[in-house]
Amino acid sequence: MDLGKKIAELRKQKGYNRDTLGKVVGTSGAVIGRYERGEITPSVEIAKKIAEALEVSLDYLVGSSEQEIDKATLKRIQEVAKLSPKEKELVFEFLDAFITKAKLQSMMH
């Protein structure tokens, strides 16, 4: 999905109209419409503000990542990063076991 379509889709999911998103990021609704139609491309600074307003990563917004990471997940990742190496290893072992179990269960159904 291209940047403009992604902005439009995320904006609608958030319940914003173009004018609202424009005000949040410091531009107009008309400019947001031009981004969405692919007529112009936002600057990196504006793209970052759009990503923040729509609560997605800039990487996800611009298409480098197809996997959206929500803010709650990002917060947990940041908290894990603060742990000691031994504590991180325990968290990783638990996650690996849980993910393996989930994959096995999905293969059986």
**pLDDT of 66-86, one tens digit each?**
566 677 787 888 899 999 999
pTM score > 0.85 for this model? Answer: no
Every domain of the chain and the residues it spans: 3-61, 71-108
Report whether pLDDT(65) > 70: no
What lies within 8 Å, CB to CB, of 35 at 6+ separation is: 3, 4, 7, 41, 42, 50
What lies within 8 Å, CB to CB, of 70 at 6+ separation is: 55
Report whether pLDDT(58) > 80: yes
For domain 3-61, the CATH class is mainly alpha
pLDDT band at 50; cut points 50, 70, 90: very high
